[in-house]
Amino acid sequence: MLSAFAQAFRTPDLRRKLLFTLFIMAVYRLGCFIPTPGVDSQAVQTCLVQEDQTGLLDLVNLFSGGALLQLSLFALGIMPYITASIIIQLLRVVIPRFDDLHKEGQTGQSTLTQYTRYLTIGLGLLQSTTMISLARSGNMFPGCSEDVIADESVTMFLIMIIVMTAGTAVIMWLGELVTERGVGNGMSILIFTSITARMPAQLLEIGQGGSWGKVGLIVVMILLVAAAVVFVEQAQRRIPVQYAKRMVGRRMYGGSTTYIPLKINMSGVIPVIFASSLLAIPGMAAQFGQPTDGWVQWISANLGQQSWGYLTLYALMILGFAFFYTSITFNPDEVADNMKRYGGFIPGYRAGRPTAEYLRFVINRITTAGAVYLVVIALIPSLLMIPLNLTNGQLPFGGTTLLIIVGVGLQTVKEINTQLQQHHYEGFLR
């Protein structure tokens, strides 16, 4: 991997793309430290030292690189865009028009992308209103006596909402710039930047507390889990496909053999994000209640992130969402129909319905293994916090974190290698 980056920097075109990507990453991190108008940054830092946020706020804070709890310009991070993208994909099942647009190719994808942008702005308005309301009421930093937002006028409230939503739009624009002019998928690169930016500081905080042994154990665990993620994410089940020969005019077409590559984890990190978001909602709702209320105490006792009830529900929801999302992204009937249309078949199975049933059988088996893998990866950090006596905010990695870091790293290295190969081919032809 390091040799690929070194060779890329020796290639002028790739060097410009890599430097542009690094510049956008630096701009993104700079925006994470600029406070929103009306926010007292010193009071925010004081509250961050006193409080340890968990739940949905911590999940959003993860994808914003710590910008949310600092109430900065990029406080919402890339989370509204991720949510909007997931919603648009799910609507393909409910709204036939969206499914038709998906099948139209580049034109339909451009329309869906535009819908995603509009929905991102709408979610940005909703989330910024919620977060600012939590900060003004004191529920974002419970127990902190500092006045985070001094000016509580309606005008300042609207200005903060507009600024945070505009920050979300700028992040979306930066991600698209990286996709067009840089290396890799822009949104994935920004998520990668947000997550990795916090890890060194969290490890240093644990070590300064006199627990360098814990730091060593965490680093070893990160390396082992990352190696396992690389192994599984690269694994494929290849289903052979044979195309029959056919005459078109005076020419013979077909007769080739290829395969359908099926990943073990076809749903990616989406099931973990879904499960984390839904299970964090009760904890966020509890912040609006009084600590002495019965329902608040029940949620704290039974749905805390280190309780067995939470871990059990977390595992079951990941399993369910893995099957659900895979069924949306891969349609065996559609694949079988396309193969039949172009004269393809799986050896030993007739084209049409038998092929679809076989693909469905294989997908169910693969998804079972992939769902169990996701559960294990997602639960390792939670189970590690118990013996190490760490809180969720102190642990520098999670299942979602490692899946994203390794996945984005593999995707970026593959794209760099592809562009290097294209550059060598062009040089050879010249």
Mean pLDDT of all residues in 313-333: 87
Q: What is the pLDDT of residue 368?
A: 92
Residues 228, 229, 233, 237: is their CA dihedral positive or negative? positive
Mean pLDDT of all residues in 115-120: 92
For residue 185, give both structure tokens: 């998928």
In the predicted model, is pLDDT for residue 306 greater than 70?
no
Give the pLDDT band (50/70/90) at residue 241: confident
Percent pLDDT > 70 in the chain is: 81
DSSP state of 347: T
**Averaged pLDDT score across all residues of the chain:** 79
Percent helix, strand, coil in the chain (nearest 5)? 70, 5, 25
> Does 403 or 303 have the greater pLDDT score?
403
Q: Which of 205, 316, 334 is nearest to 271 (CA)?
A: 316
> Does 240 or 299 have the greater pLDDT score?
240
In the predicted model, is pLDDT for residue 134 greater than 60?
yes
In the predicted model, is pLDDT for residue 426 greater than 50?
no
Q: What is the pLDDT of residue 386?
A: 62
In the predicted model, is pLDDT for residue 288 greater than 70?
no
| Reduced 3-state DSSP string for 139-175 | CCCCCCCCCCECCCCHHHHHHHHHHHHHHHHHHHHHH
Mean pLDDT of all residues in 62-78: 73
Mean pLDDT of all residues in 281-298: 71
> Does 339 or 7 have the greater pLDDT score?
339
In the predicted model, is pLDDT for residue 263 greater than 70?
yes
Mean pLDDT of all residues in 327-349: 84
Q: What is the pLDDT of residue 146?
A: 63
d(CA 115, CA 98) in angstroms, rounded, equals: 10
Q: What is the pLDDT of residue 273?
A: 77
The per-residue pLDDT for range 184-221, each reduced to its tens digit, is 888 888 888 888 877 777 777 777 766 677 778 778 87
Q: What is the pLDDT of residue 388?
A: 63
In the predicted model, is pLDDT for residue 54 greater than 80?
no
> Does 249 or 227 have the greater pLDDT score?
227
Percent pLDDT > 90 in the chain is: 9
Give the pLDDT band (50/70/90) at residue 64: low
Q: What is the pLDDT of residue 51?
A: 53
Mean pLDDT of all residues in 43-71: 63
Which SS3 state, helix, strand or coil, does residue 183 take?
A: coil
**Residue 139: Cβ-neighbour burial (10 angstroms; 0-12, 13-18, 19+):** middle
Instruction: Indicate the pTM of the whole model.
Output: 0.76
Q: What is the pLDDT of residue 4?
A: 64
Q: What is the pLDDT of residue 162?
A: 93
In the predicted model, is pLDDT for residue 391 greater than 60?
no
Which domains, ranges and CATH numbers included, belong to the chain?
A: 32-182 (no CATH), 209-430 (1.10.3370.10)
In the predicted model, is pLDDT for residue 61 greater than 60?
yes
In the predicted model, is pLDDT for residue 248 greater than 80?
no
Contact 33, 73 (CB under 8 A): no
